[in-house]
Homo-oligomer: A and B are copies of this chain.
Amino acid sequence: MSDTNKLKIFNDPIYGFITIPNPFIYDLIQHPYFQRLRRISQMGLSSLVYPGANHTRFHHALGCLHIMQKAVGVLRFKNVSISEEEENALYIAILLHDIGHGPFSHAMEHSIVEDVHHEEISLLFMHKLNREFDGKLTLAIKIFKGEYHRKFMLQLVSSQLDMDRMDYLKRDSFYSGVEEGKINSDRLIQMMNVVDDVLVIEEKGIYSVEKFLMARRLMYWQVYLHKTSLVAEEILTRILKRAKELFQKGVAIDCSKPLYFFIENKIALQDFDDVTLDKFAQLDDTDVLGAIKNWQFHKDYTLSELSRMIINRDLLKIKMSDEKFSVEEVSKLVEEHADKYKIGLNESKYFVFKGKIKNQAYSKIAEPIRILQKDGELEDVAILSDQLSLKALSKHVTKYFLCFPKQLNKS
C-alpha cells in the first residue's frame, strides 16, 4: 500500500475523527498483534451490568493516540520543544501501552498467566516489534521504561494524569452511559504545560483536575468495582482455575489451542520466550468465552455450573460490607452449600468465598499531579486544593465482599 493511503482516519463517536499521523503508525495498527485488540473488550465483563460497554482495547488505544496528538500540539503552541522523533515515539508508546492485555483484561493476569502484569507483556511485544521494524521503536521503549531524560514524556504516557486515563475515563463513561464519569479532556490538555521537564497543569485548570479525580473515583465505585462485575470477574477467574485444576487431575479439558497452551503450562514472566509470546498473541476474549460456552456442558459440576452462570448471567449473590467477613461465617456457608449440593468442600469453595477490593482515587506516594501557580511555583494539587476533598481522595478505601449461591438463604 502506498504511504499516502496510510493516512487514514477512523470514526470515533467521542472525538469525531482520529487521524493516523504517519505511515509507520499505520503499519503498527495493521500488525496482527495490534489487530488482536479488536477482540479484547476494554471493560472485561462490565457489559453484564452496562450493556453498552462493548468497546475494545483497539479503540481505546486509537483514542489515546488521538489525545496524545492534541497534547503535543498544545505543548508546542506553548513553546515546549518536541522533536519529530520524540513526537513519533510518544505516539508509538501510547498506542502500544496496553498491547500486552490478555482476554478480559485484569482477571487474566492471575489465572492465565502467573502474576504477570500486562505492562510487562506490552514491553515484550514492543521489543518484538522493534526487532521486526529495525529499531524504529527504540525511543518509544526508552520513554515507556522511564529511561528517557525528558521525564514529562513518560508522564504523558503513564502517570496520574496521562493520556491513557483520560481516554479510558471518557470512553468508559461514554459507552456505559454513566454520565458522572465524563471528564473534560479537552480542557485538561489545554491547561497542560511543561516546567523543568515536568508535566504540569496551569492553575486555572485546578477545578478540572479535581473533577477528573472525582470522576475517576466515582467510576471505580460505580462501574469498575460494581458488585455485579466483581462477582462475574471472580467467577471467571475461578472457572479458569478449575479448568487448570481438572487438567492437573487428568480430566479432559476442551478449548481452543492457544488457551489450551496456557492451561497446560504454568507461565510466569521468565517463561515468555517468542513461542509463548506468539501463543499469547493468539489469545483473545473469543477463546475464553468459547471455552466457557463449551464448559457449560462439562461433566464436572463446578466447571459447568460456574460457566453456565456467566453465559446466562445468572450469577452468585454478592454482599458488600465495610467490615471483614469472618472466617467462621464463610466456613459455615461453604459447608452448608457442600451439604445441599453433595459436593466436596474444595468444590464448595468455588461458590462461597470472600474477598476485598481497594481503591484510592489519588496517590500521594506516586508522582503527584503538579499545579503551575501564577507565580511560577509548582505545588501538588492535593495541597493546593481549597478544600480537604483531595486529601480524602487519596485515602485508601477498602470494601469487603462475600459471594454465595442465591439458593443459600443468606439475608
Contact = CB atoms under 8 A, between A and B. Distances in A.
A312 B392 contact: no
A306 interface: no
A98 B207 CA distance: 29
A289 B221 CA distance: 33
Counting every copy of the chain, the complex holds 4
Interface string A378-404: 000000001111011101010000000
Nearest to A48: B38
A256 B286 CA distance: 12
Contacts of A287: 290, 293
A304 interface: no
Contacts of A297: 257
Interface string A52-78: 101110110010000000000000000
Contact of A388 (B54, B312, B389): B389
B62 A58 contact: no
A71 to B, nearest CB: 14
Given A290-B286, A290-B287, A56 B51 contact: yes
Interface string A357-392: 000000000000000000000000000001111011
Contact of A293 (B52, B256, B311): B256
Contacts of A10: 51
Contacts of A397: 386-387
A74 to B, nearest CB: 10
B256 A186 contact: no
Contacts of A9: 190
Interface stretch (A12-20, A132-140, A152-160, A336-344): A12-20
Nearest to A284: B293
Interface in A190-236: 190, 207-208, 210-211, 214-215, 218, 221-222
Interface residues of A, number: 70
Interface string A284-321: 10110110011001000000000000011110000000
A191 B121 CA distance: 39
Given A177-B12, A289-B286, A387-B397, A313 B59 contact: no
A388 B64 CA distance: 32
A254 B206 CA distance: 45
B50 A11 contact: yes
Nearest to A292: B286
A118 interface: no
A182 B190 CA distance: 19
A184 B179 contact: yes
A130 interface: no
Given A17-B187, A38-B48, 12 more contacts: A10-B51, A13-B52, A13-B177, A30-B313, A39-B289, A51-B58, A54-B56, A179-B184, A179-B186, A284-B293, A387-B393, A389-B392
13 contacts: A11-B50, A11-B178, A12-B177, A182-B182, A214-B214, A214-B389, A256-B294, A286-B290, A286-B293, A387-B389, A387-B393, A387-B397, A389-B389
